[in-house]
Amino acid sequence: MTVLAHVTPPDPNLALILKVLPALVVILIVAAICGRLAQMVMQPRVLGEMVAGVLLGPTFFGWLFPDAQAALFPKDVRPVLYVLSTIGLTLYMFLVGAGLDHNGRTPGEVRKASALAVSGIVPSLLLGFGAGLLLYDLLSVPDVSPFQFALFVGGALSLTAFPMLARILYERGLENTPVGRLTLIAASIDDALAWCILAVLSAMHLGTGPAGALPTIGLTAVFAVVMLKVVAPLLRPMGANVARTGRLGATGMYVVVLVPLTAGWLTDWIGVYSVFGGFLAGLAMPRDPKFREALHGRMMEIVSTLLLPTFFTFSGLNTHLGGIAGGAMLLAFGLILLAGFAGKYFGCALAMRGMGFGLRESYAVGALMNARGLMILIFINIGLAQGMINQELFAMLVLVAILTTAGALPLYKLALPERLETRAKVAEVSELVRSNPS
Protein backbone atom coordinates (compact mmCIF):
# COMPACT_ATOMS: atom_id res chain seq x y z
CA MET A 1 0.00 0.00 0.00
CA THR A 2 2.89 2.36 0.78
CA VAL A 3 4.38 1.74 -2.66
CA LEU A 4 1.03 2.44 -4.32
CA ALA A 5 0.74 5.66 -2.37
CA HIS A 6 4.04 6.82 -3.83
CA VAL A 7 3.03 5.76 -7.37
CA THR A 8 -0.33 7.58 -7.16
CA PRO A 9 0.07 10.55 -4.80
CA PRO A 10 -3.08 11.65 -2.97
CA ASP A 11 -2.27 15.28 -3.78
CA PRO A 12 -3.60 15.90 -7.34
CA ASN A 13 -1.10 18.74 -7.87
CA LEU A 14 1.81 16.43 -7.06
CA ALA A 15 0.31 13.79 -9.32
CA LEU A 16 0.18 16.31 -12.16
CA ILE A 17 3.80 17.36 -11.61
CA LEU A 18 4.86 13.71 -11.76
CA LYS A 19 3.23 13.55 -15.20
CA VAL A 20 4.45 16.88 -16.56
CA LEU A 21 8.13 16.55 -15.65
CA PRO A 22 8.72 13.24 -17.54
CA ALA A 23 6.98 14.76 -20.58
CA LEU A 24 9.30 17.78 -20.45
CA VAL A 25 12.38 15.56 -20.07
CA VAL A 26 11.44 13.55 -23.17
CA ILE A 27 10.61 16.72 -25.12
CA LEU A 28 14.01 18.25 -24.39
CA ILE A 29 15.93 15.05 -25.20
CA VAL A 30 14.16 14.49 -28.53
CA ALA A 31 14.39 18.20 -29.44
CA ALA A 32 18.13 18.23 -28.71
CA ILE A 33 18.73 15.10 -30.81
CA CYS A 34 16.61 16.25 -33.75
CA GLY A 35 18.06 19.76 -33.59
CA ARG A 36 21.57 18.35 -33.77
CA LEU A 37 20.65 16.05 -36.65
CA ALA A 38 19.15 18.99 -38.52
CA GLN A 39 22.38 20.95 -38.14
CA MET A 40 24.35 17.95 -39.41
CA VAL A 41 22.40 18.08 -42.68
CA MET A 42 22.85 21.87 -42.95
CA GLN A 43 19.38 22.77 -41.73
CA PRO A 44 18.60 25.22 -38.91
CA ARG A 45 18.22 23.68 -35.47
CA VAL A 46 14.68 25.02 -35.27
CA LEU A 47 13.56 22.76 -38.13
CA GLY A 48 14.80 19.74 -36.20
CA GLU A 49 12.85 20.90 -33.16
CA MET A 50 9.73 21.27 -35.29
CA VAL A 51 10.17 17.75 -36.68
CA ALA A 52 10.73 16.50 -33.10
CA GLY A 53 7.32 17.85 -32.16
CA VAL A 54 5.66 16.06 -35.06
CA LEU A 55 7.53 12.82 -34.26
CA LEU A 56 6.28 12.88 -30.67
CA GLY A 57 2.70 13.23 -31.88
CA PRO A 58 0.24 10.62 -33.13
CA THR A 59 1.79 10.35 -36.61
CA PHE A 60 4.97 8.55 -35.51
CA PHE A 61 5.32 7.92 -31.77
CA GLY A 62 1.59 7.44 -31.30
CA TRP A 63 1.45 5.05 -34.26
CA LEU A 64 4.43 2.91 -33.19
CA PHE A 65 3.83 3.00 -29.43
CA PRO A 66 0.28 4.20 -28.77
CA ASP A 67 0.20 3.12 -25.12
CA ALA A 68 3.53 4.80 -24.34
CA GLN A 69 2.47 7.99 -26.11
CA ALA A 70 -0.82 8.09 -24.25
CA ALA A 71 0.98 7.55 -20.94
CA LEU A 72 3.60 10.23 -21.64
CA PHE A 73 1.13 12.86 -22.90
CA PRO A 74 -2.21 12.21 -21.14
CA LYS A 75 -5.06 14.68 -21.55
CA ASP A 76 -4.43 16.45 -18.25
CA VAL A 77 -0.80 17.20 -19.22
CA ARG A 78 -1.63 18.88 -22.53
CA PRO A 79 -3.15 22.05 -21.02
CA VAL A 80 0.07 22.54 -19.04
CA LEU A 81 2.14 22.13 -22.20
CA TYR A 82 -0.15 24.62 -23.94
CA VAL A 83 0.40 27.24 -21.25
CA LEU A 84 4.18 26.73 -21.27
CA SER A 85 4.32 26.82 -25.08
CA THR A 86 2.27 30.01 -25.29
CA ILE A 87 4.47 31.73 -22.70
CA GLY A 88 7.57 30.55 -24.53
CA LEU A 89 6.51 31.78 -27.93
CA THR A 90 5.31 35.12 -26.53
CA LEU A 91 8.61 35.72 -24.72
CA TYR A 92 10.67 34.62 -27.71
CA MET A 93 8.91 37.03 -30.05
CA PHE A 94 9.33 39.71 -27.37
CA LEU A 95 13.09 39.12 -27.54
CA VAL A 96 12.99 39.25 -31.33
CA GLY A 97 11.20 42.60 -31.26
CA ALA A 98 13.53 43.98 -28.57
CA GLY A 99 16.55 42.80 -30.56
CA LEU A 100 15.72 44.72 -33.71
CA ASP A 101 18.19 47.56 -34.19
CA HIS A 102 15.92 50.60 -34.55
CA ASN A 103 18.88 52.96 -34.94
CA GLY A 104 20.23 50.88 -37.80
CA ARG A 105 17.26 51.52 -40.03
CA THR A 106 17.95 52.60 -43.55
CA PRO A 107 15.88 55.39 -45.12
CA GLY A 108 12.47 54.14 -46.24
CA GLU A 109 12.86 50.77 -44.49
CA VAL A 110 9.27 50.57 -43.23
CA ARG A 111 7.95 51.50 -46.67
CA LYS A 112 10.12 48.83 -48.30
CA ALA A 113 9.13 46.23 -45.70
CA SER A 114 5.46 47.02 -46.32
CA ALA A 115 5.94 46.57 -50.06
CA LEU A 116 7.72 43.27 -49.44
CA ALA A 117 4.88 42.15 -47.15
CA VAL A 118 2.27 42.93 -49.82
CA SER A 119 4.29 41.02 -52.41
CA GLY A 120 4.42 38.05 -50.03
CA ILE A 121 0.76 37.93 -49.07
CA VAL A 122 -1.16 38.97 -52.21
CA PRO A 123 0.20 36.41 -54.74
CA SER A 124 -0.03 33.58 -52.18
CA LEU A 125 -3.54 34.64 -51.21
CA LEU A 126 -4.73 34.80 -54.83
CA LEU A 127 -3.09 31.52 -55.88
CA GLY A 128 -4.32 29.78 -52.74
CA PHE A 129 -7.82 31.18 -53.28
CA GLY A 130 -7.82 29.83 -56.84
CA ALA A 131 -6.58 26.42 -55.70
CA GLY A 132 -9.27 26.38 -53.01
CA LEU A 133 -12.01 27.03 -55.56
CA LEU A 134 -10.73 24.21 -57.78
CA LEU A 135 -10.52 21.76 -54.86
CA TYR A 136 -13.73 22.75 -53.07
CA ASP A 137 -15.74 19.69 -54.13
CA LEU A 138 -12.91 17.33 -53.19
CA LEU A 139 -11.77 18.74 -49.84
CA SER A 140 -14.40 21.02 -48.31
CA VAL A 141 -16.70 20.29 -45.40
CA PRO A 142 -20.45 20.58 -46.13
CA ASP A 143 -21.36 23.75 -44.21
CA VAL A 144 -18.51 25.95 -45.54
CA SER A 145 -19.14 28.05 -48.66
CA PRO A 146 -16.70 28.01 -51.61
CA PHE A 147 -15.64 31.58 -50.79
CA GLN A 148 -14.87 30.76 -47.15
CA PHE A 149 -13.02 27.58 -48.07
CA ALA A 150 -10.93 29.26 -50.76
CA LEU A 151 -10.13 32.23 -48.50
CA PHE A 152 -9.00 29.87 -45.75
CA VAL A 153 -6.58 28.09 -48.11
CA GLY A 154 -5.26 31.41 -49.39
CA GLY A 155 -4.88 32.80 -45.86
CA ALA A 156 -2.97 29.72 -44.70
CA LEU A 157 -0.59 29.88 -47.66
CA SER A 158 0.03 33.61 -47.15
CA LEU A 159 1.60 33.02 -43.72
CA THR A 160 5.34 33.22 -43.11
CA ALA A 161 6.92 31.35 -40.20
CA PHE A 162 7.71 34.51 -38.25
CA PRO A 163 9.22 32.81 -35.15
CA MET A 164 11.14 30.30 -37.26
CA LEU A 165 12.39 32.98 -39.63
CA ALA A 166 13.57 34.96 -36.62
CA ARG A 167 15.49 31.98 -35.25
CA ILE A 168 17.14 31.32 -38.63
CA LEU A 169 18.29 34.93 -38.85
CA TYR A 170 19.51 34.94 -35.24
CA GLU A 171 21.40 31.68 -35.67
CA ARG A 172 23.18 33.18 -38.69
CA GLY A 173 23.70 36.62 -37.15
CA LEU A 174 21.65 38.37 -39.84
CA GLU A 175 18.84 39.88 -37.79
CA ASN A 176 20.21 43.44 -38.06
CA THR A 177 21.40 43.43 -41.65
CA PRO A 178 19.20 45.42 -44.08
CA VAL A 179 17.88 42.20 -45.62
CA GLY A 180 17.27 40.64 -42.19
CA ARG A 181 15.36 43.63 -40.83
CA LEU A 182 13.24 43.98 -43.97
CA THR A 183 12.37 40.28 -43.89
CA LEU A 184 11.41 40.29 -40.20
CA ILE A 185 9.19 43.36 -40.48
CA ALA A 186 7.56 42.08 -43.69
CA ALA A 187 6.93 38.65 -42.13
CA SER A 188 5.30 40.25 -39.09
CA ILE A 189 2.97 42.25 -41.37
CA ASP A 190 2.13 39.14 -43.43
CA ASP A 191 1.23 37.14 -40.36
CA ALA A 192 -0.81 39.97 -38.82
CA LEU A 193 -2.84 40.26 -42.03
CA ALA A 194 -3.30 36.48 -42.17
CA TRP A 195 -4.68 36.51 -38.61
CA CYS A 196 -7.08 39.27 -39.62
CA ILE A 197 -8.25 36.99 -42.46
CA LEU A 198 -8.76 34.19 -39.93
CA ALA A 199 -10.75 36.57 -37.71
CA VAL A 200 -13.02 37.39 -40.66
CA LEU A 201 -13.43 33.69 -41.51
CA SER A 202 -14.22 32.78 -37.91
CA ALA A 203 -16.84 35.53 -37.74
CA MET A 204 -18.41 34.34 -41.01
CA HIS A 205 -18.36 30.70 -39.92
CA LEU A 206 -19.89 31.48 -36.53
CA GLY A 207 -22.66 33.49 -38.19
CA THR A 208 -21.73 37.04 -37.11
CA GLY A 209 -20.64 38.02 -40.62
CA PRO A 210 -17.47 39.81 -41.79
CA ALA A 211 -18.39 42.89 -39.74
CA GLY A 212 -17.91 40.78 -36.62
CA ALA A 213 -14.15 40.87 -37.24
CA LEU A 214 -13.95 44.69 -37.37
CA PRO A 215 -13.63 45.13 -33.58
CA THR A 216 -10.68 42.71 -33.55
CA ILE A 217 -8.89 44.55 -36.34
CA GLY A 218 -9.61 47.97 -34.83
CA LEU A 219 -8.53 47.01 -31.33
CA THR A 220 -5.32 45.49 -32.68
CA ALA A 221 -4.44 48.78 -34.40
CA VAL A 222 -5.21 50.76 -31.23
CA PHE A 223 -3.13 48.36 -29.14
CA ALA A 224 -0.13 48.78 -31.48
CA VAL A 225 -0.35 52.57 -31.28
CA VAL A 226 -0.57 52.51 -27.47
CA MET A 227 2.44 50.20 -27.15
CA LEU A 228 4.66 52.23 -29.47
CA LYS A 229 3.53 55.74 -28.56
CA VAL A 230 2.60 55.48 -24.86
CA VAL A 231 4.35 52.46 -23.31
CA ALA A 232 7.65 52.90 -25.16
CA PRO A 233 8.38 56.40 -23.74
CA LEU A 234 7.56 55.17 -20.23
CA LEU A 235 10.23 52.46 -20.54
CA ARG A 236 13.05 54.75 -21.69
CA PRO A 237 14.30 55.60 -18.17
CA MET A 238 14.83 51.88 -17.56
CA GLY A 239 16.93 51.69 -20.72
CA ALA A 240 19.00 54.69 -19.63
CA ASN A 241 19.63 53.05 -16.26
CA VAL A 242 20.81 49.81 -17.87
CA ALA A 243 23.01 51.76 -20.27
CA ARG A 244 24.61 53.53 -17.28
CA THR A 245 25.07 50.48 -15.01
CA GLY A 246 25.50 47.75 -17.61
CA ARG A 247 23.11 45.38 -15.85
CA LEU A 248 19.39 44.58 -15.73
CA GLY A 249 18.43 44.41 -12.05
CA ALA A 250 15.58 42.63 -10.28
CA THR A 251 13.08 45.44 -10.85
CA GLY A 252 13.99 45.57 -14.52
CA MET A 253 13.49 41.83 -14.85
CA TYR A 254 9.99 42.12 -13.41
CA VAL A 255 9.20 44.79 -15.98
CA VAL A 256 10.59 42.91 -18.99
CA VAL A 257 8.63 39.79 -18.05
CA LEU A 258 5.38 41.52 -17.12
CA VAL A 259 5.17 43.75 -20.20
CA PRO A 260 5.24 40.97 -22.86
CA LEU A 261 3.01 38.64 -20.85
CA THR A 262 0.45 41.40 -20.35
CA ALA A 263 0.68 42.34 -24.02
CA GLY A 264 0.21 38.71 -25.03
CA TRP A 265 -2.82 38.40 -22.75
CA LEU A 266 -4.38 41.53 -24.24
CA THR A 267 -3.85 40.48 -27.85
CA ASP A 268 -5.28 37.04 -27.08
CA TRP A 269 -8.30 38.77 -25.53
CA ILE A 270 -8.61 41.00 -28.60
CA GLY A 271 -8.62 37.92 -30.81
CA VAL A 272 -5.09 38.02 -32.26
CA TYR A 273 -2.54 35.39 -31.26
CA SER A 274 -0.34 36.40 -28.30
CA VAL A 275 2.83 36.20 -30.41
CA PHE A 276 2.04 39.64 -31.84
CA GLY A 277 1.54 41.12 -28.40
CA GLY A 278 4.96 39.82 -27.44
CA PHE A 279 6.56 41.23 -30.59
CA LEU A 280 4.97 44.67 -30.11
CA ALA A 281 6.13 44.65 -26.48
CA GLY A 282 9.64 44.01 -27.76
CA LEU A 283 9.41 46.90 -30.20
CA ALA A 284 8.40 49.14 -27.28
CA MET A 285 11.53 48.27 -25.29
CA PRO A 286 14.39 50.80 -24.94
CA ARG A 287 16.62 50.99 -27.99
CA ASP A 288 20.02 51.19 -26.33
CA PRO A 289 22.41 48.40 -27.48
CA LYS A 290 23.54 47.73 -23.90
CA PHE A 291 19.94 47.17 -22.86
CA ARG A 292 19.40 44.69 -25.70
CA GLU A 293 22.58 42.85 -24.76
CA ALA A 294 21.60 42.62 -21.08
CA LEU A 295 18.06 41.51 -21.91
CA HIS A 296 19.13 38.75 -24.28
CA GLY A 297 21.83 37.59 -21.89
CA ARG A 298 19.26 37.11 -19.11
CA MET A 299 16.38 35.54 -21.06
CA MET A 300 17.25 34.05 -24.46
CA GLU A 301 18.81 30.72 -23.49
CA ILE A 302 16.07 29.54 -21.14
CA VAL A 303 13.34 30.61 -23.56
CA SER A 304 14.87 28.93 -26.62
CA THR A 305 16.03 25.79 -24.78
CA LEU A 306 13.02 24.97 -22.59
CA LEU A 307 9.91 26.81 -23.71
CA LEU A 308 10.12 26.78 -27.52
CA PRO A 309 10.57 22.98 -27.83
CA THR A 310 7.46 22.67 -25.66
CA PHE A 311 5.59 24.82 -28.16
CA PHE A 312 6.72 22.65 -31.08
CA THR A 313 5.71 19.48 -29.26
CA PHE A 314 2.29 20.75 -28.29
CA SER A 315 1.63 21.62 -31.93
CA GLY A 316 2.93 18.20 -33.01
CA LEU A 317 0.51 16.46 -30.64
CA ASN A 318 -2.35 17.99 -32.64
CA THR A 319 -0.91 16.97 -36.03
CA HIS A 320 -2.24 13.88 -37.84
CA LEU A 321 -0.59 13.05 -41.16
CA GLY A 322 -2.91 10.31 -42.30
CA GLY A 323 -5.23 12.07 -44.69
CA ILE A 324 -3.41 11.83 -48.02
CA ALA A 325 -4.04 8.74 -50.14
CA GLY A 326 -4.85 8.14 -53.78
CA GLY A 327 -4.09 9.97 -57.00
CA ALA A 328 -6.69 12.70 -56.62
CA MET A 329 -5.46 13.61 -53.14
CA LEU A 330 -1.83 13.66 -54.26
CA LEU A 331 -2.69 15.95 -57.19
CA ALA A 332 -4.60 18.23 -54.85
CA PHE A 333 -1.62 18.35 -52.50
CA GLY A 334 0.70 19.14 -55.42
CA LEU A 335 -1.51 22.03 -56.51
CA ILE A 336 -1.64 23.52 -52.99
CA LEU A 337 2.13 23.13 -52.56
CA LEU A 338 2.82 24.78 -55.93
CA ALA A 339 0.46 27.68 -55.18
CA GLY A 340 2.06 28.27 -51.79
CA PHE A 341 5.65 28.04 -53.00
CA ALA A 342 5.32 30.13 -56.16
CA GLY A 343 3.32 32.92 -54.53
CA LYS A 344 5.81 33.61 -51.75
CA TYR A 345 9.09 32.79 -53.47
CA PHE A 346 8.66 34.62 -56.74
CA GLY A 347 6.41 37.36 -55.37
CA CYS A 348 8.93 38.42 -52.71
CA ALA A 349 11.94 38.01 -55.01
CA LEU A 350 10.40 40.23 -57.70
CA ALA A 351 9.47 42.85 -55.10
CA MET A 352 13.04 42.95 -53.78
CA ARG A 353 14.35 43.37 -57.31
CA GLY A 354 11.92 46.23 -57.83
CA MET A 355 13.32 47.93 -54.69
CA GLY A 356 16.84 47.83 -56.11
CA PHE A 357 18.31 44.78 -54.37
CA GLY A 358 20.58 42.41 -56.22
CA LEU A 359 19.37 39.19 -57.81
CA ARG A 360 20.97 36.97 -55.17
CA GLU A 361 19.66 38.96 -52.21
CA SER A 362 16.19 39.05 -53.77
CA TYR A 363 15.88 35.29 -54.15
CA ALA A 364 17.46 34.75 -50.72
CA VAL A 365 14.63 36.80 -49.20
CA GLY A 366 12.10 34.90 -51.31
CA ALA A 367 13.44 31.65 -49.87
CA LEU A 368 13.25 32.88 -46.27
CA MET A 369 9.75 34.33 -46.64
CA ASN A 370 8.59 31.01 -48.10
CA ALA A 371 9.16 29.17 -44.80
CA ARG A 372 5.86 28.59 -42.99
CA GLY A 373 6.75 26.48 -39.99
CA LEU A 374 4.46 26.21 -36.99
CA MET A 375 2.55 29.44 -37.63
CA ILE A 376 0.56 27.73 -40.37
CA LEU A 377 -0.02 24.80 -37.99
CA ILE A 378 -1.54 27.17 -35.44
CA PHE A 379 -3.70 28.67 -38.20
CA ILE A 380 -4.99 25.34 -39.48
CA ASN A 381 -5.45 23.88 -35.99
CA ILE A 382 -7.87 26.73 -35.29
CA GLY A 383 -9.61 26.04 -38.60
CA LEU A 384 -9.90 22.35 -37.78
CA ALA A 385 -11.19 23.02 -34.27
CA GLN A 386 -13.87 25.37 -35.63
CA GLY A 387 -14.92 22.91 -38.34
CA MET A 388 -13.80 25.08 -41.27
CA ILE A 389 -11.58 22.37 -42.80
CA ASN A 390 -11.40 18.57 -42.75
CA GLN A 391 -8.59 16.23 -41.71
CA GLU A 392 -7.40 15.69 -45.30
CA LEU A 393 -6.77 19.36 -46.03
CA PHE A 394 -5.21 19.71 -42.60
CA ALA A 395 -2.71 16.95 -43.42
CA MET A 396 -1.84 18.55 -46.75
CA LEU A 397 -1.16 21.92 -45.18
CA VAL A 398 1.02 20.30 -42.51
CA LEU A 399 3.16 18.80 -45.27
CA VAL A 400 3.28 22.18 -47.02
CA ALA A 401 4.59 23.67 -43.77
CA ILE A 402 7.31 21.05 -43.41
CA LEU A 403 8.44 21.08 -47.06
CA THR A 404 8.52 24.85 -47.53
CA THR A 405 10.38 25.28 -44.25
CA ALA A 406 12.88 22.54 -45.08
CA GLY A 407 13.53 24.15 -48.46
CA ALA A 408 14.01 27.66 -47.11
CA LEU A 409 17.63 27.43 -45.95
CA PRO A 410 18.98 25.39 -48.93
CA LEU A 411 17.38 27.86 -51.35
CA TYR A 412 18.71 30.76 -49.29
CA LYS A 413 22.26 29.36 -49.38
CA LEU A 414 21.96 28.69 -53.09
CA ALA A 415 21.07 32.33 -53.66
CA LEU A 416 23.42 33.84 -51.06
CA PRO A 417 26.54 31.70 -50.43
CA GLU A 418 28.48 32.09 -47.21
CA ARG A 419 31.07 34.49 -48.61
CA LEU A 420 28.35 36.93 -49.70
CA GLU A 421 26.52 36.48 -46.41
CA THR A 422 29.74 37.32 -44.53
CA ARG A 423 30.13 40.41 -46.66
CA ALA A 424 26.63 41.53 -45.60
CA LYS A 425 27.55 41.12 -41.91
CA VAL A 426 30.78 43.09 -42.36
CA ALA A 427 28.90 45.86 -44.12
CA GLU A 428 26.43 46.01 -41.22
CA VAL A 429 29.25 46.29 -38.65
CA SER A 430 30.90 49.04 -40.68
CA GLU A 431 27.62 50.96 -40.84
CA LEU A 432 27.15 50.67 -37.07
CA VAL A 433 30.69 51.97 -36.48
CA ARG A 434 30.05 54.94 -38.75
CA SER A 435 26.72 55.75 -37.08
CA ASN A 436 28.06 55.26 -33.51
CA PRO A 437 31.72 56.40 -33.58
CA SER A 438 31.92 56.48 -29.78
C-alpha dist (Å) from residue 306 to 3, 137, 363: 32, 43, 33
Answer yes or no: are the C-beta atoms of 201 and 83 closer than 8 Å.
no
Q: Can you point out the beta strands (E) in 121-210?
A: none
Query: Residue-wise over 155-173: b if at least 16 C-beta within 10 A, else e?
Result: bbbbbbbbbbbbbbbbebe
**Residue 186, exposed/middle/buried by CB under 10 A (0-12, 13-18, 19+)?**
buried
Q: Which of 177-191, 235-249, 284-298 has the lowest mean pLDDT?
A: 177-191
Residue 59 confidence (pLDDT): 78
The average pLDDT across 215-240 equals 89
Compute the average pLDDT of residues 58-73.
88
Q: Quickly state the pLDDT bin for 425 (edges 50, 70, 90).
A: low
d(CA 195, CA 376): 10
**Residue 244 near residue 258 (C-beta atoms within 8 A):** no
Local structure of residue 159 (DSSP, 8 states): -
Q: What are phi and psi of 412, to 5 degrees?
A: -60, -50
- 387: left (phi > 0), else alpha (psi -120 to 50), else beta? left
Top pLDDT among 281 and 312 is at 281
Better-scored residue on pLDDT, 318 or 104? 318
pLDDT of amino acid 210: 63
Report pLDDT for 100.
Answer: 67
% of the chain surpassing 70 pLDDT: 87
The pLDDT value given to residue 2:
45
Mean pLDDT of the chain: 82
- The pLDDT of residue 208 is above 70: no
DSSP conformation letters of 324-364: --SHHHHHHHHHHHHHHHHHHHHHHHHHHHHTT--HHHHHH
Which residue did the predictor score with more confidence, 54 or 261?
Answer: 261
Distance separating alpha carbons of residues 263 and 34, to the nearest angstrom:
32
Q: Show Cβ contacts of residue 177 under 8 Å, excluding neighbours closer than 6 positions.
A: 424, 425, 427, 428
Q: Report the percent of the chain where pLDDT is more than 90.
A: 25
- Averaged pLDDT, 98-105: 63
Q: Is the pLDDT of residue 432 over 50?
A: no
Amino acid 348 reads C
User: Residue 315: pLDDT band by 50, 70, 90 thresholds?
Assistant: confident
CB of 191 closer than 8 Å to CB of 181: no
Residue 3 pLDDT class (50, 70, 90 cuts): very low
Report the distance separating Cα 412 and Cα 414, nearest Å: 5
Higher-pLDDT residue of 275, 103 = 275
Does residue 404 surpass a pLDDT of 50?
yes
pLDDT score of 345:
92
Greater confidence, 151 or 420? 151
| Band of pLDDT at residue 185, cut at 50, 70 and 90 | confident
In eight-state DSSP terms, residue 231 is I
Q: Would the pLDDT of 196 be above 50?
A: yes
* pLDDT at residue number 107: 59
Instruction: Considering only residues 315 and 332, tell me which one the structure prediction assigns the higher pLDDT.
Output: 332
Q: Which of 97-101, 114-118, 143-147, 419-423 has the lowest mean pLDDT?
A: 419-423
pLDDT value, residue 408: 85
Region 213-237: mean pLDDT is: 87
**Mean pLDDT (whole number) for 323-333:** 81
Q: Identify which has the larger pLDDT, 419 or 150.
A: 150
pLDDT tops 90 at residue 259: yes
> Is the CB of residue 270 less than 8 Å from the CB of residue 227?
no
CB count within 10 Å of CB 358 equals: 13
Of residues 173 and 424, the one with the higher pLDDT is 173
Phi, psi of 88 (to 5 degrees): -60, -45
Distance between CA atoms of residues 384 and 391, nearest Å: 7
pTM score, whole prediction: 0.74
Residue 198 pLDDT greater than 90, yes or no: no
Domains of the chain: 76-435 (1.20.1530.20)
pLDDT confidence of residue 1: 41
Q: Does residue 22 contact residue 72 with C-beta atoms inside 8 Å?
A: yes
Identify which has the larger pLDDT, 355 or 104: 355
Q: Say which DSSP state 273 is in.
A: -
What pLDDT was estimated at residue 218? 82
Burial class (CB in 10 A: 0-12, 13-18, 19+), 380: buried
Nearest C-alpha neighbor of 20 from the set 69, 72, 55: 72
What one-letter code names the amino acid at 322?
G
| Band (269; pLDDT cuts 50, 70, 90) | confident
